[in-house]
Structure 1
Amino acid sequence: MALTDAAIDKIKQMIMSGELAPGDRLPRETDLAERLGLSRNSLREAVRALALINVLDVRQGDGTFVTSLQPHLLLEAMSFVVDFHRDDTVLQFLEVRRVLEPAATAMAAVHMSEAEVAELRLILDDLPDGPSVTELVANDLRFHKHIAAGSGNPVLCSLIDSLSGPTTRARVWRGLTQEGALEKTREQHVAICDAIAARNPEVARAWATVHVAGVEEWLRRTL
């Protein structure tokens, strides 16, 4: 194991054991390096690496702290990698969405409060009659993000959110080129919302699967 990897592993173990909790400040560099049996250079490289993936927060003049370790922070690094996708991988992202979004939608049917369901209805109502493709896609993103948040699982919500970017262009393509895409999207959103409001997770799951699979099927034919 490389020295930097060993240093990363030792800091990770301190966090996992509870010795360092979210928000805690790390000991002084000299003290921590001596305690862990590391060189100061190896420790610095480990701190830089862990800061890049939002495990540590280096505050100039104040010290180095463990972040909140919230899922949305830790998954930002994945979002960065996802942004460099190629067009021919969009189908793979859609396949992952087809696995995750129906599960999140089924969970939302169980966990969303009445106020959150009402807000989902408002998102649908915000879409004007005869919307542009841009308006439809923006509304679509809001709709699915609200459902993912309503699943009650922050990790699942963050994963779905990180997958939204690569599939946005496919949604726009479909809206521009597929006849009836705007009406179909609106109808499926209403069906998903109705199933969530009725507290019927399996119907909600089924409609979400149909919804995401429709974009995927269209893209396969187009490509």
Structure 2
Amino acid sequence: MAVTDEAIEKIKGMIVTGALRPGDRLPKEAELAADLGLSRNSLREAVRALALMRILDVRQGDGTYVTSLDSQLLLEALGFVVDFHRDDTVLELLAVRRILEPAATALAAAAVDEAELDALEAELEELGPAPSVEDLVACDLEFHRRIVRASGNSVLSSLLDGLSGPTARARIWRGLTQEDAVSRTLTEHRAILAALRARDAEAARSWSTVHIAGVELWLKRTL
């Protein structure tokens, strides 16, 4: 194990065991390096890496602190990496969405409140029967984001939020080139919403799977 990796593991170990808790300030560099048996250089490299992962927060002139360790904060690093995906990885991103998002949609069937369902329906009505592809995709992103948040699982919500955006270009491409893509998307959105209103978790799961798999299948045939 590289020295920096060892330093990272030791600091993470302190957080996992509770020696350092969210919001805690790290001991002074010289003291922490001595306690962990590390050189100050390797400790600095470890702190930089953990700051990029949003585990530590380096405040100039104040010190280094453990962040809140909130799931959304930690998953921002994943979103940053996903933003640099290559076109040939979009299918893999869609496959992960197809695995995770139907589960979140099923959870939402039990947890979503009527006010949120009314808001989702209002958005679909406002979109109208023949929206532009760009408006449809923007609505699609927000539609799924709100449903996943309604699942009540913040980790799943943050993870899917990071995976959903990078597939937007493929969705726009589909809307422009596949004849019935817009009408099909609207029909599937309404079916998902109806399943949520009925509190039918399995129907919500199934329609969500069909919805994402449609984009995935189209992209497989196109590439």
Same fold (TM over 0.5): yes
Q: Which consecutive unaligned segments of at least 5 residues does structure 1 have?
A: none
| TM-score normalised per structure 1 | 0.96
Distance 1:106 1:59, change over 3 A: same
Shift of 1:90: 1.1
Distance in 2, matches of 1:42 and 1:123, equals 52
Match of 2:116 in 1: 116
Native 8 Å contact 1:123 1:142 kept in 2: no
- What letter matches 2:175 in structure 1? G
Q: Does 1:207 align with 2:211?
A: no
Native 8 Å contact 2:24 2:66 kept in 1: yes
Question: Which 4+ runs in 1 deviate beyond 4 A?
Answer: none
Cα offsets for 1:57-98 (capped at 9, x unmatched) = 001111111111111111122112212211122111111111
Paired residue secondary structure (2:127)? coil
Native 8 Å contact 2:141 2:165 kept in 1: no
Match of 2:181 in 1: 181
Native 8 Å contact 2:3 2:42 kept in 1: yes
Match of 2:217 in 1: 217
Shift of 1:122: 2.7
Q: Does 1:47 align with 2:77?
A: no
Shift of 1:27: 1.1
Structure-to-structure mapping, 1:97-176, within 5 angstroms: 97-176=97-176
Shift of 1:194: 1.0
Native 8 Å contact 1:101 1:160 kept in 2: yes
Q: Does 1:37 align with 2:37?
A: yes
Q: Which consecutive unaligned segments of at least 5 residues does structure 2 have?
A: none
Shift of 1:136: 0.4
How many pairs were matched up?
A: 223
Shift of 1:113: 2.1
Paired residue secondary structure (1:102)? helix
